[in-house]
């Protein structure tokens, strides 16, 4: 069987001789054409009958170069040589495997041990805990720090793997949510590499990952521990490095995809900025978070401070920087997975508490306080409640939860703080949470028990006029279903803010039997509206008795049953039927329209 040259070229190797047994597909010789080598193979099993060219011969396409006499060939005689050893690792692959291995924890025992001494995990351990087993692909693991002018490449490969930042794509909660819903971008600064600082190359890696998050609509989970910008990189061609894209790209993701920040330990300067951009900030109890670390503070002439004095958790959770405080990184990852789940879809399996217990959740004594958290935990699916900013804006509770597996946002007045009156911090907390829910099409449940906006000179000094108005502005412009349930007090401007501006604004506004309504609190309304009559009664005991009668009459006028009879609300319901109302309304609402762009420009960081 004749074998022709497949193209014009030069013979650069002849691998067989006359009489040699060959099998189909075995290379007989190599021809070079335009600096590329091409194999000329045997078309069949048999014996080489002719070799018509030698090394160095130049041939034209179609010219005969050899012939093979077809025949049966013992496979074992030639198979190994012809097909090669498939189990062998080629040198080029071995080199790649070795480079990847250098950056793994197993190759860096001293770095791992340093993490153990401070009770923390490595960056790779955190990422591995976050993503589902075997699902992670890493971008840029072979990158090294931009310090070739001051260090050898060999040293950089060993000492600065991945330029101190691990990032890639994996799945989270894949056992609960299949397909694209489970995909996330996972990013972590590596504190074992140059203190987790932001290098030139890891900034470029962030650019790449954030661009992927935007184009693929993937949530981002960011472990932010580190010291901020790195002054030691020497390979830059610019001056200020202020033309980098990472901060712009990451901030532009706000409102497009969920952004989750997790921090343990020190997080200063640029790292803290990345954390602050996130929708939710999860931080360990031993975190220190600040817009500048000790070196920048000292460099600014502001004195010498220890890193533990800067933004400790006790400060940052009380002022609202931290949304959720956790004991350690493992709990932080668990909470991050739970947080992501609310944005990934409904759950099929759920349980809830005995709804009959809600009938006793509100004390019969209308002056008696209670813990609204017990109402929330009892009303929504068991184990589904995740409270945000618990230590900030104490008069308002904001939480993500589920009802029959559906994700909802919960905003509740807390009668245990200022009787549920809304102050500036509480208004900011609730308004910002409304934006979060609206941006990602999560319906909101408002649990109302407020005497109104907080009053007095002290609260006015906090700019309450502006802060409380955020509730009206944001609430009036959300498009997700809003359902209000009046637990007890529903008075004044605070109440109107909790129902979206009007009791007819929500898709449903119902009250429990303990509900009471009015333009202002009953006691205040009596004192203000009937001051002259009360002052005319000289006997204090008689005056107090008359006051109590007036309060009782006004309470009867404003109680939920009477309010419903005027159709100012939709119904007064058995608390045990609350979930039925919620589920019915939520199922009746049309699904969110498909979006090709953001629904809101961004979510306030505050």
State pLDDT tens for residues 489-519.
999 999 999 999 999 999 999 999 999 998 7
Q: What is the mean predicted confidence (pLDDT) over 30-59?
A: 96
Other Cβ atoms closer than 10 A to 213: 23
Cβ atoms 422, 450 nearer than 8 A: yes
| C-alpha span between 301 and 156 (Å, rounded) | 34
Which comes out higher in pLDDT, residue 458 or 79?
Answer: 458
* From 8-17, 149-158, 325-334, 395-404, the region with the lowest mean pLDDT: 149-158
Query: Is the separation of the CB atoms in 428 and 357 below 8 Å?
Result: no
Relative to beta strand 137-138, strand 280-284 is unpaired
In the prediction, which pLDDT does 124 show? 97
Round to whole Å and give the CA distance between 296 and 313: 20
Cβ-proximal residues to 49 (8 Å cutoff; 6+ apart), any chain? 18, 66, 67, 68, 69
Phi, psi of 326 (to 5 degrees): -130, 165
Structure-block tokens of residue 129: 């805990």
Contact between 123 and 191 (Cβ < 8 Å): yes
What's the pLDDT tens digit per position in 65-86? Answer: 999 999 998 766 555 545 556 6
What is the predicted pLDDT for the residue at 232?
84
SS3 272: helix
What is the distance between the alpha carbons of residues 489 and 430, in angstroms, rounded to a whole number?
A: 18
**Residue 558 confidence (pLDDT) above 70:** yes
Strand, coil or helix: 312: strand
Give CA–CA dist 489/506, Å, rounded: 17
Q: Let me know: does 127 contact 336? Beta carbons within 8 Å.
A: no
Q: Which pair of structure tokens corresponds to residue 77?
A: 């005689």
Six token digits for residue 256 = 């497009």
Confirm whether 120-341 and 355-515+559-587 share one CATH topology: yes
Mean pLDDT of the 283-302 span = 92
Of 216 and 230, which is predicted with more confidence?
216
What is the token pair recorded at 274? Answer: 């990345």
For every residue of 99-140, DSSP letters joined together read HHHHTSGGG-HHHHHHHHHTT---HHHHHHHHSPTT--EES-
CA terminus-to-terminus distance, the chain: 80
Cβ–Cβ under 8 Å, residues 281 and 432: no
Mean pLDDT of 585-598: 90
Superfamily name with CATH number, domain 355-515+559-587: 2-enoyl-CoA Hydratase; Chain A, domain 1 (3.90.226.10)
Paired tokens of 90: 């080629």
- Percent of all residues in the chain with a pLDDT value above 70, rounded to a whole number: 98
So what's the pLDDT on residue 316?
98
pLDDT-derived band at 440, boundaries 50, 70, 90: very high
Domain ranges (residues) in the chain:
2-83, 120-341, 355-515+559-587, 520-558
State pLDDT tens for residues 538-551: 888 888 888 888 77
pLDDT at 75: 65
Domain 120-341: which topology? Answer: 2-enoyl-CoA Hydratase; Chain A, domain 1 (3.90.226)
Confidence of residue 387 (pLDDT cuts 50, 70, 90): very high
> What does CATH list as the number for 2-83?
2.40.50.100
Tokens of residue 440, six digits: 């990602």
Q: What would the mean pLDDT of 570-585 be, rounded to a whole number?
A: 98
For the sheet with 58-59, list strands across it.
36-41, 27-33, 9-14, 58-59
CB neighbours of residue 432 within 10 Å = 21
Structure tokens at 366: 């209308």
Query: What's the rounded Cα separation, in Å, for the pair 354 and 4?
Result: 84
Mean pLDDT value across the chain: 93
- Helix, strand, or coil (residue 481): coil
* Spatial CB neighbours of 407, under 8 Å, sequence gap ≥ 6: 341, 342, 343, 345, 346, 400, 401, 442
For the segment 212-233, the average pLDDT, to the nearest whole number, is 94
Residue 526 has pLDDT above 80, yes or no: no
Q: How far apart are CA 499 and CA 484, in angstroms?
A: 6
pTM value?
0.89
Residue 295 reports pLDDT greater than 90: no
Secondary element (H or E) of residue 531 = helix 531-535
The reported pLDDT for the residue numbered 349 is 95
> What is the C-alpha radius of gyration for the chain, rounded to an integer number of angstroms?
35
Is the pLDDT assigned to residue 243 strictly greater than 90?
Answer: no
């Amino acid at each position: 069987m004749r074998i022709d040259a497949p193209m014009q070229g030069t013979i650069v190797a002849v691998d067989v001789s006359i009489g040699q047994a060959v099998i189909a597909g075995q290379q007989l010789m190599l021809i070079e054409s335009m600096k590329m080598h091409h194999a000329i193979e045997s078309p069949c099993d048999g014996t080489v009958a002719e070799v018509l060219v030698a090394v160095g011969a130049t041939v034209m396409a179609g010219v005969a170069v050899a012939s093979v006499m077809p025949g049966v060939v013992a496979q074992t005689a030639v198979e190994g040589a012809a097909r090669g050893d498939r189990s062998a690792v080629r040198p080029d692959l071995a080199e790649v495997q070795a480079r990847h291995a250098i950056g793994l924890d197993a190759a860096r025992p001293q770095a791992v041990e340093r993490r153990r001494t401070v009770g923390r995990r490595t960056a790779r351990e955190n990422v591995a805990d976050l993503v589902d087993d075997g699902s992670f692909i890493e971008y840029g693991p072979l990158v090294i720090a931009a310090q070739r002018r001051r260090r050898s490449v060999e040293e950089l490969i060993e000492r600065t793997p991945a330029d101190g930042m691990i990032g890639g794509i994996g799945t989270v909660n894949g056992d609960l949510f299949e397909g694209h819903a489970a995909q996330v971008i996972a990013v972590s600064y590596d504190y074992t590499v140059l203190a987790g600082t932001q290098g030139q190359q890891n900034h470029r890696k962030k650019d790449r990952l954030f661009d992927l998050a935007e184009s693929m609509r993937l949530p981002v989970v960011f472990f932010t521990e580190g010291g901020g910008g790195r002054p030691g990189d020497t390979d830059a061609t610019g001056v200020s490095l202020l033309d980098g894209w990472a901060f712009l790209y990451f901030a532009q993701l706000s409102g497009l995809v969920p952004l989750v920040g997790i921090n343990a330990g020190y997080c200063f300067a640029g790292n803290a900025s990345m954390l602050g951009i996130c929708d939710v900030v999860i931080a360990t109890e031993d975190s220190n978070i600040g817009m500048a670390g000790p070196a920048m503070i000292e460099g600014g002439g502001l004195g010498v401070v220890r890193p533990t004095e800067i933004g400790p958790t006790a400060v940052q959770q009380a002022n609202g920087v931290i949304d959720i405080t956790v004991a350690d990184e493992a709990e932080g990852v668990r909470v991050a997975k739970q947080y992501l789940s609310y944005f990934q879809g409904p759950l099929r399996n759920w349980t809830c508490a005995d709804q009959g217990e809600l009938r006793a959740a509100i004390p019969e004594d209308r002056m008696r306080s209670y813990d609204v958290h017990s109402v929330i935990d009892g009303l929504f699916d068991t184990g589904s409640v995740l409270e945000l900013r618990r230590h900030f804006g104490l008069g308002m509770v904001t939480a993500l939860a589920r009802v029959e597996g559906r994700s909802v946002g919960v905003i509740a007045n807390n009668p245990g703080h200022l009787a549920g009156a809304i102050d500036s911090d509480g208004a900011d907390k609730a308004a910002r949470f409304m934006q979060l829910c609206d941006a990602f099409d999560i319906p909101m449940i408002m649990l109302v028990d407020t005497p109104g906006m907080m009053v007095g000179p002290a609260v006015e000094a906090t700019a309450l006029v502006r802060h409380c108005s955020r509730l009206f502005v944001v609430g009036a412009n959300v498009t997700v279903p809003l359902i209000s349930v009046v637990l007890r007090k529903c008075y004044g401007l605070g109440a109107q803010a909790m129902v979206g501006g009007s009791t007819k604004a929500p898709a449903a506004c119902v009250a429990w039997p303990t509900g009471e309504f009015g333009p202002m609190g009953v006691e205040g309304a009596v004192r203000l509206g009937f001051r002259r009559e009360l002052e005319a009664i000289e006997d204090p005991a008689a005056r107090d008795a008359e006051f109590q009668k007036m309060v009782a009459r006004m309470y009867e006028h404003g109680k939920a049953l009477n309010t419903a009879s005027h159709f100012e609300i939709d119904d007064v319901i058995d608390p045990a039927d609350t979930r039925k109302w919620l589920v019915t309304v939520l199922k009746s609402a049309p699904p969110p329209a498909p979006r090709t762009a953001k629904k809101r420009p961004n979510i306030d960081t505050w």
